[in-house]
């Protein structure tokens, strides 16, 4: 009999059928279903889990069985909503995970290249680190919510480089905003770069 659920982060929590019922009911509410089959499906899921003869199961196994039992019960629309929500939550976890990995890498990096990605920001200072944190969050947002997935993947793999990606969400092309008349009349300075 299942007693423990292994969460995605490895934590173990007590098995609770009510959590399955609650998740199915959320999918039903999305579809405006009046009569609930959540209790019935949760019992069927529990039977399948107990047939595994294991004390603990992963959250993914439970979710797979919920979808299977919904489909076996001809609740295909509910299964689709449940699965869509599951995929959306997985996507959100991946976004948070990649952002935290980027910030961790930047925070604990000893390499000067990591801390001086932008020639105008010294990542070894407190203000420089704060600017880099903001830049990292902005890049992450642009890659996950503004760019096409294929372009984000190409940038991450190094096949293309999207310059000043951290400014993409602001709708600016930063380095392309040069007043050429002023440049030709007054000259230029490279600043800190």
Domain identity same for 114 and 182: yes
Longest dimension (CA), the chain: 81
Q: Sign (positive/negative) of CA torsion 120, 123, 125, 129?
A: positive
pLDDT, residue 123, reads 76
pLDDT in tens, 72-106: 999 999 999 999 999 988 888 887 788 888 888 88
Residue 42 in any domain: the answer is yes
pLDDT, residue 13, reads 96
| Residue finishing a domain among 84, 99, 120 | 84
Domain identity same for 79 and 115: no
Residues with Cβ < 8 Å from 81, sequence gap 6 or more?
27, 30, 31
Residue 94 in any domain: the answer is no
Six token digits for residue 44: 């069927």
Residue 143 in any domain: the answer is yes
| pLDDT at 113 exceeding the cut of 80 | no
| Spatial distance between the Cα atoms of 70 and 92, rounded to a whole number of angstroms | 24
Give me the percent of the chain exceeding a pLDDT of 90.
50
Domain count, the chain: 2
Residue 102 in any domain: the answer is no
pLDDT, residue 148, reads 93
Residue 41 in any domain: the answer is yes
| Spatial distance between the Cα atoms of 50 and 193, rounded to a whole number of angstroms | 64
Residue range of the domain that includes 21: 4-84
Q: What is the mean pLDDT of residues 43-55?
A: 95
Residue 11 in any domain: the answer is yes
Residues with Cβ < 8 Å from 16, sequence gap 6 or more?
5
Residue 99 in any domain: the answer is no
Mean pLDDT computed over every residue of the chain: 87
Domain identity same for 80 and 129: no
Domain identity same for 114 and 50: no
Domain identity same for 25 and 62: yes
Residue 162 in any domain: the answer is yes
């Amino acid at each position: 009999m299942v007693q423990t659920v292994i969460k995605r982060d490895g934590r173990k929590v007590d098995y609770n059928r009510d959590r399955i019922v609650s998740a199915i009911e959320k999918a039903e509410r999305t579809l405006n279903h009046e009569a609930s089959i959540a209790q019935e499906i949760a019992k069927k899921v529990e039977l399948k889990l107990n047939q595994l003869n294991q004390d603990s199961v992963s959250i993914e196994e439970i979710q797979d069985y919920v979808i299977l039992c919904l489909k076996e019960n001809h609740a295909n629309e509910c299964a689709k909503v449940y699965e869509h929500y599951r995929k959306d939550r997985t996507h959100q976890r991946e976004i948070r995970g990649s952002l935290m990995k980027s910030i961790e890498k930047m925070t604990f990096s000893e390499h000067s290249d990591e801390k001086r990605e932008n020639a105008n920001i010294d990542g070894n200072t407190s203000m420089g680190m704060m600017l880099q944190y903001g830049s990292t969050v902005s890049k992450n947002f642009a890659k996950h919510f503004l760019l096409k997935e294929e372009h984000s993947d190409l940038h991450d793999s190094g096949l293309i480089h999207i310059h000043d990606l951290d400014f993409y969400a602001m709708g600016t092309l930063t380095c392309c905003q040069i007043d050429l008349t002023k440049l030709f009349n007054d000259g230029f300075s490279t600043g800190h770069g």
